[in-house]
Structure 1
Amino acid sequence: MEQKIEQYKPLIKKLVIRISNKEYDLIKTNGQNGRVNIEDLKRVIDDYGCTIVSLPDKAFSIAEAYDITSENRIDIYLPLWTKEEGRSDLTLSLSCYNDNGVPKIEINDIRVL
């Protein structure tokens, strides 16, 4: 079954809000940091030096999504927005999948492009 980005939008928006609120412990507790060390996530965002804000709806039309059918997941590359810049050079890489019918997301990477 081909997965769609739509079902993950609420989770992604909530994750970005947690990032913007610097709720890194909650991200880690929920297992959403995935392959990323939570201290590295914090460091990259702090080093970037701008204030992460909630995603506008247009963020999802800009996002790149790849259906990884063999692993029953979608990988998404999503630009983040900041108070100072609007669309920033920071990109969040996510894996989205279903775990027994429950949508889940994990961070694979965050980087400046």
Structure 2
Amino acid sequence: MNIDKHLEIEIIELIDALVKGDHAKISERNWYGRLNKEHVESKLSEYGNTLILPPNSFLEKIDTYNYSDGSGMAIDVPLWTQEEGMSDLTISLELLYKESKPALQMTDLRIL
């Protein structure tokens, strides 16, 4: 995993917002990306288990893929549930390097 501390913190904040159902924060921080509130709520409801914050060691489970053109990276982050621990739910994120600062956004929420 090759992500810096600021990105780690932002990923943790995004997961915390998902756990709390804080869609206002997700929208405010422009984390929805290709998704929207309805899609996220639908996927989580369909899955049926209760999201929880992951253990600190979850960072070791993150997969990153750098774009060959240097414009950013794709990041797959497993999610945890109360019922399962590490679950089959994964959020796919994209980090795009913009002129002022990198921009993180969700690209998919899926069941593996």
Q: TM-score range by the shorter chain?
A: 0.7 to 0.9
Alpha-carbon distance between aligned partners in 2 of 1:95 and 1:56, rounded to the nearest angstrom: 22
The CA RMSD over aligned residues, in Å, is: 1.5
Report the 3-state secondary structure (helix = DSSP H, G, I; strand = E; otherwise coil) of the residue aligned with 2:32. Answer: coil
Greater strand fraction, Structure 1 or Structure 2:
1
The 4+ residue runs of structure 1 with deviation greater than 4 A are none
Q: TM-score, normalised by structure 2?
A: 0.88
- Which structure would you say has the larger RCO, counting Cα contacts within 8 Å and 6 or more residues apart? 1
Alpha-carbon distance between aligned partners in 2 of 1:84 and 1:106, rounded to the nearest angstrom: 27
Deviation (angstroms), 1:101: 4.2
How many positions carry a matched residue from both structures?
110
Q: Deviations over 1:21-70 (max 9, x none)?
A: 00113212221100012210111011111111112222221111001141
Contact 1:52 1:81 in 2 (8 A): yes
Report the 3-state secondary structure (helix = DSSP H, G, I; strand = E; otherwise coil) of the residue aligned with 1:59. Answer: helix
Q: Deviations over 1:54-96 (max 9, x none)?
A: 1222222111100114152111011101111100000000012
Quote the residue 1:5 is aligned against. 3
Alpha-carbon distance between aligned partners in 2 of 1:43 and 1:49, rounded to the nearest angstrom: 10
Write the letter of the residue equivalent to 2:36.
N
Q: TM-score, normalised by structure 1?
A: 0.87
Deviation (angstroms), 1:19: 0.2
Alpha-carbon distance between aligned partners in 1 of 2:59 and 2:85, rounded to the nearest angstrom: 14
